[in-house]
Structure 1
Amino acid sequence: MLNAGLMLYFGRETFQVTSNAQQPSHYSYHFVLISEEVDNEYWRLVEKGAEAASRKHNIHLDYWGPKQANNEEQLTFIDKAIASKVDGIMTQGVSSDTFNYLVNKSVQKGIPLITVDTDAPESVRMAYVGSDNYLAGKLAGETMIKQTSGLQKVGIVTGRFDASNQQLRVKGFKDAVSNVSRIQIAGIGESNITKSGAIQATYELLKNHRNITAFYGTSALDGLGISQVASLYQQKKRPFIIAFDTLPETLTLLNKQKIDATVAQYPFVMGERAVETLFSIKKGVYPGSLQYTKTDIMTKLKGSHP
């Protein structure tokens, strides 16, 4: 049994958890939102949306997550939420047997669990709320085709190689440009969803592939790092840059024409919809396993469009 001590994973002790959370009596439910990285700007926007919906339905909301992206720590928080006997769990999906095991245990204990931002369709999660990540990548690729001309050598900076949402954003992009011979993938680097990581990945890509003419970043801070490095390189023409998400700094770069486009997803809406979906499930209404939120492309001149 999972209790105030430890978790059993296939009969083995794996990590310590404590359980002392209690649902305040004046709330209808106690939900937990578990992020990929607790202070990441993108996930803070998801939290704000979840808070707004929680206030509407008189739900007590906890927001947890590792200080830096780490799957094992994230699994620990899921374990803690189950042990705390919360009423519902919202978490980024993880592609692992341990995650699938925890989702199964959560559901068996009567705690509905849904994935947010990143899906884990091989698990028994009750719903996914977030962008269609493959479509997001495809839109980025189509934008690269429409807004560039001539030979393009593309460097891709992705958040995490092992994250399924990042993999789908890369795959969608590659599939979109696969039949366009003038657009070629020069290389791919990993940022670990940090700006400093994106700076390092961009620098390495440019060092190893000096003929790069365009960049595509697949996580929220990648465009910031790409733009910073690109501005320091002495080139006749800066590379064409497609970023991801609509953080204020990203929009500033877009308006100053330091980047050319960004894939817009809506983390506030994502958090809001996640709470609404979990609330419906608790009421016995199942809205469907795939709850896609809006995804489009934003440019300085044209704004956002599907």
Structure 2
Amino acid sequence: MNRTSIIYIVLISFILAAIVYSFYFYKQVQDYDQLIEKGMSSESSLPTYHFALIGEEMNHDYWRLVGQGAKETEAAYDVFVQYEGPKRSNPEEQLKLLDIALKSQVDGIIVQALNDNFTPLIDRAVEAGIPIITIDTDSPDSLRNAYIGTDNYAAGQLAGEALIEDTNGKATVGIITGSFDNAHHQLRVEGFRDVVEKVEGIEIVAMDESNITRVKAEEKAYEMLTEHDNITAFYGTSSFDGIGIVAAAKSLNKEENLYVMTFDTLNENIQLLKEGDLDAIVEQQPFEMGYKSIEIMLDIIKGKSVQDTYFTDASIIRISNLDNWKSEKDEAS
């Protein structure tokens, strides 16, 4: 092979390499342009409003429904709902999440205000221009813009009236409350007491807290049934209290003729009602609370007039009206 041929081969190789590199470079530029366009498209489709919802307990059917209600608004409104909460009820963790939401400067915060420790942070958020709605548990002395949830005092009264009716005004009562410290449980006890203490044949002989766990509810109910052999009725103020009370009564063979009332239509509670182990359930509307909280928040942001409180319905579910309740739920879904 002569020198000229070698030069031609080298030149052709350079040309081919340049063509391949040019094509590769062109492809990279095209891919990068597509990424930019995709990013710009993604940015332009971001919701206008970013709301934080801080619940009590992520691993709880009641709070799952609150979250589902709030998240469902994303399909109807120009919003993104960031739903956060502790795995188990923990006010300190909720306060940290509230602080994070405040510092993140979200457009609005929906939070369960379990105790007075929430008031300073709620006030700081409102003063910083972030509207606050309390949900499930109110902080009426704070600067919050509105409350949505059960009227917990009225729900306690409703429970008291149901117990009087179902026991013909004669009962020796033990109370298992979810928490002595949480405002909504305090109100449910207060409302209940104010009704039943007017009836001569009803006496409350013991009260303890379950820390919103079925294990603790069972332990406390067991102690009450052991110490107060004359207890004929129990009132539980949280979702798991009835489950724990029934378990304690069965372990002591005292479930016969024992009246048990609890809160919330968990699947387990409904099953116990069917089996005759629970006598009454105080139903709340967690899905509605979540959904309407976002609608109220949008009204606040748009400068519309809103109410101070939005009470969702509470009702009593017994075996006598269970079929009607299920039919209504099926129709609504």
Common topology (TM > 0.5):
yes
Cα deviation code 1:134-155 (max 9, x no counterpart): 1110011001110113641111
Select the structure that is richer in helix.
2
* Distance across 1 between alignment mates of 2:226 and 2:96: 38
CA contact (8 A) 2:255 2:277 kept: no
Figure out how many residues of one structure are paired with residues of the other and give that number: 282
TM alignment of 1:94-173, pairs within 5 A: 94-96=114-116, 98-149=117-168, 151-173=170-192
- For 2:61, the aligned partner's letter is E
SS at match of 1:302: helix
Q: Which residue number corresponds to residue 66 of structure 1?
A: 86
SS at match of 2:249: helix
Please say if 1:189 is aligned against 2:241: no
Q: How far is 1:216 from its partner?
A: 0.6
Residues 177 and 76 of structure 1, relative CA distance in 2, 3 Å threshold:
same
* Distance across 2 between alignment mates of 1:79 and 1:67: 18
TM alignment of 1:243-262, pairs within 5 A: 243-262=262-281
Please say if 1:272 is aligned against 2:291: yes
Cα deviation code 1:162-206 (max 9, x no counterpart): 001000000111011111111110111111111112111211211
Could you tell which deviates more after superposition, 50-59 or 136-145?
Answer: 50-59
Cα deviation code 1:77-119 (max 9, x no counterpart): 10000011111100101332x4221111111111101100001
Partner residue of 2:47 out of 22, 27, 49: 27
* Distance across 1 between alignment mates of 2:82 and 2:159: 34
Partner residue of 2:226 out of 183, 207, 213: 207
Identify unmatched segments of 5+ residues in structure 1. Answer: 1-22
Partner residue of 2:108 out of 59, 63, 88: 88
CA contact (8 A) 1:92 1:116 kept: yes
CA contact (8 A) 2:210 2:220 kept: yes
* Distance across 1 between alignment mates of 2:142 and 2:255: 49
Q: Which residue number corresponds to residue 38 of structure 1?
A: 58
Q: Which runs of 4+ in 1 moved over 6 A?
A: none
The TM-score with structure 2 as length reference comes to: 0.81
CA contact (8 A) 1:24 1:60 kept: no
CA contact (8 A) 2:282 2:315 kept: yes
Identity over the aligned pairs, expressed in percent? 44
- For 1:69, the aligned partner's letter is S
- In our comparison, the structure showing a higher alpha carbon Rg is 2
Q: How far is 1:73 from its partner?
A: 1.4
* Distance across 1 between alignment mates of 2:216 and 2:63: 18
Identify unmatched segments of 5+ residues in structure 2. Answer: 1-41, 326-333
CA contact (8 A) 2:114 2:184 kept: no
CA contact (8 A) 2:113 2:139 kept: yes
- For 2:80, the aligned partner's letter is H
Q: How far is 1:236 from its partner?
A: 7.7
CA contact (8 A) 1:103 1:123 kept: yes
Please say if 1:217 is aligned against 2:217: no
The TM-score with structure 1 as length reference comes to: 0.88
Please say if 1:287 is aligned against 2:287: no
Q: Which residue number corresponds to residue 235 of structure 1?
A: 254
Please say if 1:55 is aligned against 2:56: no
Q: How far is 1:24 from its partner?
A: 6.4
- For 1:196, the aligned partner's letter is V
